[in-house]
Structure 1
Amino acid sequence: MAQLEHLLTPVDTVVARMRALDEALPERDGVAVFNRVYLAVTEEVERGLEAEQFTDPRAAATLDVRFAERYLAAVAAVADGRRPPACWRPLFQLRRHPGVRTLQFALAGINAHIGHDLALAVVDTCHALGCEPVDLEDEFDRVGDLLASLEERVREDLMPGPDLLQVADPLTHLLGSWSLERARDATWTTARALWALRRFEDVAEEFAERLDAAVGLAGRMLLTPLPG
């Protein structure tokens, strides 16, 4: 029990920070929209740890916290007047744009966090635990499954009703261009590549920078303002 409490303490900390953001941000703020989505995922991971549902609780908790810290670092950077990573800039820049719909904000945040942060969090976790990415595959898949199930709920909760979402609606086509499952698969490959490049710091840094920029470009497209 003491070991479980030790693992849950840092998870509790990131959950508390996200709950504080949820209370502080306006409901329609784009960052607030994503934060609610991500808070639900992190709370689900916390419940899974408490119920001992993970094969390796230490790895799961470490990955969950390292993952969350990258999002929270982006929030802190903006609050301090600094630039966040490129993958997060579209969401922060367009967070109050009246032409961007709620579902777009949620998916843009998921895109930034899965497409960029998760791969780096896997590498961070491997360094912290002295393991290889393959040792984290079960925990990675478990977190990915939670995100996939949440994406379905997000689309159901935030998608306009059938009377509003017509075939000709630009949102229909925009949403069809992005898939969490494809993003997750690409992230696992990226994490393994970054780990393999860890002894070549310059190459690994350039690879990560280009990943950041590419994910940011996808986020910008997901946040294309649409007619009401």
Structure 2
Amino acid sequence: MAHCEQVPTAAPSVDTVLFRMRALDSALPARDGLAVFNRVYLAVTEAVDRHIDGGRFPDARAAAALDVRFAERYLAAVDAAQEDRRPPACWRPLFQLRRHPGVRPLQFALAGINAHIGHDLALAVVDTCRTLGCEPVDLEDEFDRVGDLLVSLEERIRDELMPGPDLLQIADPLTHLLGSWSLERAREATWASARALWALRRLPDVAGEFTDRLDAAVGFAGRMLLTPLRD
């Protein structure tokens, strides 16, 4: 497979975005819904960083660029919320409900993953292609390997944040919410969205409408995932 051209770029490093996430982790109350997601995403980014350093990506520079562009989308949403600006629609449910006592930690984690994978990752692929002067197909290996890390982490956080068997009965609403969303399906949809956005890059009006509709749809799914399960 062809890889991205080594075009010079002043993009922040993985260490830069890790510093931001660690600062958030230190500053936010542990039960805050944003803090729950941030811990999950920090673990993902640290794992990606280890894999890059360990030579486990075919193109380390492309992997780092994708990782940074991906993280920048999340951090920009955090900045918008902190500055009383409107974050993308996909992130609004998490920021609006982050302190709701009826939303469980696992819901916050999955809603953040939904926003970041369903919306941000597709745009990050396009951002990275523009930065490195390549096509989405050139990033497919990196995309897949990052996705594999996310799947393994999702399994871990479900184990860590899932209520015990005595609490999670078949009739528990959380059971139905968990069954309504799949990271694997989200990954597949995101890759298709990234390719579509790249194909539409010379039609900015159409690309903008596509992005707005994607944002709204992902936000709707996030709002469902954050349905309070108790008052």
So what's the TM-score if we normalise by structure 2?
0.95
Q: If each structure's helix is expressed as a fraction of its own residues, which one has the higher value? A: 1
8 A contact 1:8–1:61 mirrored in 2? no
Write the mapping of 1:38-49 to structure 2, written as runs, cut at 5 A.
38-49=41-52
Q: CA RMSD in A?
A: 1.6
For residues 120 and 106 of structure 1, the distance between their equivalents in structure 2, rounded to whole angstroms, comes to: 21
1:37-84: CA deviation from partner (whole Å, max 9, x where unpaired): 000000001101111111001110000000000000000011111010
Q: Which residue of 2 aligns with 1:149?
A: 152
For residues 38 and 173 of structure 2, the distance between their equivalents in structure 1, rounded to whole angstroms, comes to: 25
Letter matched to residue 15 of structure 1: L
Q: Which residue of 1 aligns with 2:186?
A: 183
For residues 114 and 220 of structure 1, the distance between their equivalents in structure 2, rounded to whole angstroms, comes to: 15
Counterpart secondary structure, 2:51: helix
Are 1:35 and 2:38 counterparts?
Answer: yes
Counterpart secondary structure, 1:220: helix
For residues 230 and 68 of structure 2, the distance between their equivalents in structure 1, rounded to whole angstroms, comes to: 38
Q: Which residue of 1 aligns with 2:81?
A: 78
Letter matched to residue 63 of structure 1: L
Write the mapping of 1:198-217 to structure 2, written as runs, cut at 5 A.
198-217=201-220
8 A contact 1:111–1:219 mirrored in 2? yes
TM-superposed CA distance for 1:227, in Å, is: 2.7
Counterpart secondary structure, 1:162: coil
Are 1:13 and 2:16 counterparts?
Answer: yes
Aligned residues: 224
Please, which runs of 5 or more residues in structure 1 have no aligned partner?
Answer: none
Are 1:109 and 2:112 counterparts?
Answer: yes
For residues 106 and 8 of structure 1, the distance between their equivalents in structure 2, rounded to whole angstroms, comes to: 27
Percent identity over the alignment is: 80
For residues 27 and 162 of structure 1, the distance between their equivalents in structure 2, rounded to whole angstroms, comes to: 24
Q: Which residue of 2 aligns with 1:194?
A: 197
Are 1:26 and 2:20 counterparts?
Answer: no
